[in-house]
Amino acid sequence: MTKAKLCFIGAGFHASTNIYPSVIEAGAEIKAISTRSMERSKAALQRFGSSGTPYDDYKEMLKQEKCDGVVVVAQPEDHPALVLDCIRAGKNVYVDKPLGMNEREAKEISDAAREAGVKVMVGFMKRYAPCYIKLKELIEEGNLGNVRSFQARFAVDSTPFCKDEEQFMKLAAIHIVDLVRHLFGEVVHVTGFRNNHGEYISNSISLKFENGTVGSLYFTGMTAWSRESENLLVTFDNGFAFADEVNALTIHESQTFDDLPWKSLKENDRVFTPAASPMSGAYRDLYLRGFVGEMAHFIECCTSDKELLSSGSDNVKTMKLCDQILSSLM
């Protein structure tokens, strides 16, 4: 079976730590890399065992290379121009979030991709994390009834890369904003409160969705949370599910008993967790966080007629919701 061939723009810390290893694990070939430095491009190719071609001009790479898709992992403010150039070159594109800093910019790129007939995928890796894939399946199966409510928490030290509330929302918390859209649908009402101090961010947000689901988001970005933390509690008609730190999903189904359940060990939950092994190395984290899954999905969509799950057009709705949340905060 022929490997998919991908070209790359960018080879920074995130790209080198998460994206390149995930692409290789997903079975693609690194055909070319472009950075601002020929030496850096050569070093990145060597690091990941590729005999591909280095470039210091991505436009020249787009002109010279035939590939199944281009992976763009650069600075957020550079993403729109880079992706538009890839689209004009007729290339399918994967780009790390955010794609555009608002709804208008996101729509411009989505429209350009549609007119050019190419695919644009935005890197919302949580959609592809096994924990959230299983939670999505649980929601769609309906065995616990309808979703009624949820609580989501996302806490991180965002101060090194987010200097204000908008950057925090669109560079960090955006992953959870996109995830709740993916799980529960579109939002019809937003309210929220803030208690910020410079780059220290604290947000409490309430959402109501078209299907009636209600939920709350707790976002905080400050040095108190030097360890990144996230979890999501979902209440159904007949049970609940708790996704904890992308490592475990606990499912509780409503139960009835002939006798009072506290008299003995009656209740039970299903708990799904990954195996732990020294042999897993860093790949365990790349799988559990969704990086390998999202790159495998991009590769599959580039080489088939399959529709993208986190497409450029879907990204427009996520950017719109981010702006709605920011406008609602008091």
C-alpha 102/C-alpha 111 separation (Å) is 14
Q: What is the pTM of this model?
A: 0.96
- Specify the pLDDT at position 1: 58
pLDDT of 132 strictly over 90 = yes
Average pLDDT score over residue span 112-124: 97
Q: Who wins on pLDDT, 260 or 11?
A: 11
Sorted by where each starts, the structural domains of the chain and their CATH numbers stand as: 5-123 (3.40.50.720), 130-278 (3.30.360.10)
pLDDT tens-place string over residues 134-160: 999 999 999 999 999 999 999 999 999
Kindly report, residue by residue over 159-204, the tens digit of the pLDDT.
999 999 999 999 999 999 999 999 999 999 999 999 999 999 999 9
Closest C-alpha to 71, from 316, 282, 291, 289: 291
Quote the mean pLDDT of the chain. 96
Q: Considering only CA atoms, which of 54, 40, 31, 39 is closest in space to residue 12?
A: 40
* Residue entry with tokens 């475990």: 248
